[in-house]
Amino acid sequence: MKVTEVRMEVYRWPRHTPIRNGRYTYPTNGLDVIKIDTDEGISGIGICGSITETQSDLGEASLNAIRDVGRSILEHLKQYVVGQDPFNTERIWDEMWQPKLVGRRGITTRIISGIDIGLWDIRAKVAGRPLYKMLGGFSEKIPAYVAGGYYEDGKSLEDLAKEMQLAVATGTRAVKMKVGGASISEDVERVRVVREAIGPNVRLMVDANCAYRFYEAIEFARKIEGYDIFWFEEPVNPDDYEGHRLISRATSIPIATGENEYTRYGFRDLIQNRCAAIIQPDAMVMGGVTEFMKVAAIAQAHDLPIAPHGIQEVHVHLVTAISNGLTLEFYGGATDPMWGQMFKEELQIKDGFVSPPDVPGLGIELNDEALKPYRVA
C-alpha cells in the first residue's frame, strides 16, 4: 500500500454572535481537513489545528495569504508522504519534522498533525479496528466535560447560568467556563453564579487562555478556591514555566495547561518543570497521534493525567487508548453553530461519558453537503 495524494480542505462559517475568551474574539468557526488517498482505495481523514485562526479580524487578502503559506507547506511536506507506506508513521513523521527547514511550531506542525492523524486513520481502517483499539484500548468510554461559558456582548449573569445548566442537562457531570476577559472581581462573581447554578456535584473548571500575569492568576485563584474548582487552565503565557510553578505553589486548585505546546520536546520541558498537574495536549496542533502517544507516556512516567484540548472526534480515541486519560473536552451547539452538521455521525454524551465509534479508523465521515457552502480553500 502506498500513499498517492495528500490534500487540504478549509471550511469557515460565521457564528450567530461572536464569542470571546480572556484574549481573543471569535467571529467564526471552522474545520481544517487533511485527506489522504492510497493506491488500494482506502483513504484517511485528518484534522489539523486552524491555520487561519478563527479569532482573526484580518481582511480577506491577509487570510488568503496565510492560507497560501499553509498550502505551500503542505506541498513541501507531500514529498515525504506520497509514495510511502502509510503504516510507516514514525519514518514519515521524522522526515516531515525538519526544524531547520520549516520551523518547530506553528502552521508547519499543525499540518504535520493533520497528515499524521490521517495516516493513523488509514492504518486502523486497514486493520479493521477502531483507532483507540489500535493504540491500546484501555477503556470503552471516558468522562466528558462541556466547554463553554464564553463572554458575549449583552450576555448577562443569568444567561451564563442558564447556559451552564443547559450543558449539565446534556448529561455531563462537568463544565468549563472562560475567565480572564473581565476584572478579577467580575470573574469571581461569574464563577460564584455558575457554581450556584450547577450545584455542588458537578465539576467546574475555569480557563483563562493565558490572560493573566502570574501574580494576577494567584490573586484570582485564591479568591475562587472556595467554589471547588477542578482545575485552572492556562493561567499565563505557555512559555512562562516559572509563572506556572509559582501559581501551582500558591493555590490548592490544580493547574492545567498544554494546548499551546508542541511536540514531545515541548511537553518534556513543560512536565519536567512541573508546570501543571494536568497535561492538555492537542493532537491537531502538537504533532498528531504519533506525538500524542509519546507525550502521554512521558506524562504517565511522571504520574500526570492527560485531558486533551480540542475536537472530540479525534481525542475520544486517544484519551480512551491510554491508562492516564482523565477526561474529554466536548464542544456542542452553544459554541459551534455547525455542531450536529459537520459529520454524518456526531458523538453524544451519555450519563456523563462519551464512547469512541465502534467502526474501523476514526469513524469520521464529513457531511460534504452541509460543509460545501463554507469551503474557503
Asked if residue 269 and residue 189 are part of one domain, the reply reads yes
Asked if residue 76 and residue 219 are part of one domain, the reply reads no
Please, how many CA atoms are within 13 Å of residue 362, restricted to the half-sphere of its CB? 28
Asked if residue 197 and residue 86 are part of one domain, the reply reads no
Q: Is the pLDDT of residue 336 over 60?
A: yes
Average pLDDT, integer, range 338-364: 95
Interatomic CA distance for residues 323 and 139, integer angstroms: 8
Residue 350: strand pairing partners: 353
Q: Give me the active site residues, please.
A: 178, 207, 233, 259, 282, 309
Q: What cell was used for 79?
A: 514529498
Regarding beta strands 25-38 and 44-48, do their DSSP bridges make them parallel or antiparallel, or are they unpaired? Answer: antiparallel
Which residues span the domain enclosing 72?
3-128+370-374
- Overall domain count for the chain: 2
C-beta of residue 244 within 8 angstroms of C-beta of residue 295 = no
Asked if residue 188 and residue 96 are part of one domain, the reply reads no
Q: What is the pLDDT of residues 97-109, one digit of tens each?
A: 986 666 778 899 9
Q: In angstroms, how far is the first alpha carbon of the chain from the final one?
A: 28
Mean pLDDT of the chain: 94
Asked if residue 194 and residue 106 are part of one domain, the reply reads no
Residue located via cell numbers 448529561: 171
Domain presence at residue 359: no
Domain presence at residue 319: yes
**Model pLDDT, residue 209:** 97
Average pLDDT, integer, range 217-244: 97
Asked if residue 166 and residue 312 are part of one domain, the reply reads yes
Q: CA nearest 144: which of 205, 190, 207?
A: 205
Asked if residue 207 and residue 259 are part of one domain, the reply reads yes
Domain presence at residue 364: no
**Model pLDDT, residue 333:** 84
Contacts with 210 (C-beta within 8 Å, 6 or more apart), sequence order: 22, 23, 180, 234, 235, 236, 237, 238, 260
Q: CATH number, domain at 8?
A: 3.30.390.10
Asked if residue 343 and residue 246 are part of one domain, the reply reads yes
Q: CATH number, domain at 296?
A: 3.20.20.120
Asked if residue 264 and residue 145 are part of one domain, the reply reads yes
Domain presence at residue 331: yes
Q: Which stretch of 1-5, 9-13, 162-166 has the lowest confidence by average pLDDT?
A: 9-13
Q: Is the pLDDT of residue 51 over 90?
A: no
Domain presence at residue 362: no
Residue 278: strand pairing partners: 256
Average pLDDT, integer, range 345-369: 96
Domain presence at residue 330: yes
Query: Does the predicted model carry a pTM greater than 0.75?
Result: yes
Q: What is the pLDDT of residues 125-176, one digit of tens each?
A: 999 999 999 999 999 999 999 999 999 999 999 999 999 999 999 999 999 9
Q: What are phi and psi of 22, to 5 degrees?
A: -70, -15
Domain presence at residue 307: yes
Asked if residue 348 and residue 272 are part of one domain, the reply reads yes
**Model pLDDT, residue 55:** 54
Q: What is the pLDDT of residues 61-77, one digit of tens each?
A: 777 777 788 888 999 99
Asked if residue 221 and residue 112 are part of one domain, the reply reads no
Domain presence at residue 174: yes
Asked if residue 122 and residue 143 are part of one domain, the reply reads no
